[in-house]
Amino acid sequence: MEKFTGKCLCGYIKFTLTSKPENPHLCYCNMCQLWSGSPMVLWADFPLSSLKYKSGKPALYRSSKKTQRGFCPKCGSTLFALDDGSKYICMSVSTLYQKNKIVPEFESFKGNSPRWMQVKIKK
């Protein structure tokens, strides 16, 4: 079983994930861009049951009819997206200490990426 650890910018929220990441992908959708302040977010899915908080508790923002986004209530760090009723949580890979172990396998909403951005996904 794989173990990933992560935290927010200020360290208020610390967590572990004990599972293999699934569906790692770069998302360029407008919602992810506005939420993160970045042209893309690298996401990976983990079973919700594998997430354990070591400290702190995230705040939630309902970003659409079926999705909430988690963030640190102290520093504002973007942490995850969670669809209603899902058994998976989509974690922002940038919050993980082991981020180099996760390589994107595909891109979503590529048409929203800036023209200057060129990403090559190894297949």
The predicted pLDDT at position 6 comes to 97
Secondary structure E strands in 1-123: 4-7, 14-17, 22-27, 41-47, 51-55, 59-62, 67-71, 78-83, 88-92, 106-108
Residue 122 has pLDDT above 80, yes or no: no
**Can you read off the two tokens belonging to residue 115?**
């023209």
Residue 2 has pLDDT above 70, yes or no: yes
The predicted pLDDT at position 123 comes to 64
- Looking up tokens 């669809």 gives 83
The predicted pLDDT at position 32 comes to 87
Name the CATH architecture for the domain at 4-112. Beta Complex (2.170)
Q: What is the mean pLDDT of residues 13-26?
A: 96
Domain ranges of the chain: 4-112
42 half-sphere exposure, CB direction, 13 A CA radius: 15
Confidence of residue 18 (pLDDT cuts 50, 70, 90): very high
pLDDT digits over 31-46, tens only? 888 888 888 899 999 9
pLDDT digits over 56-89, tens only? 999 999 999 999 999 999 999 999 999 999 999 9
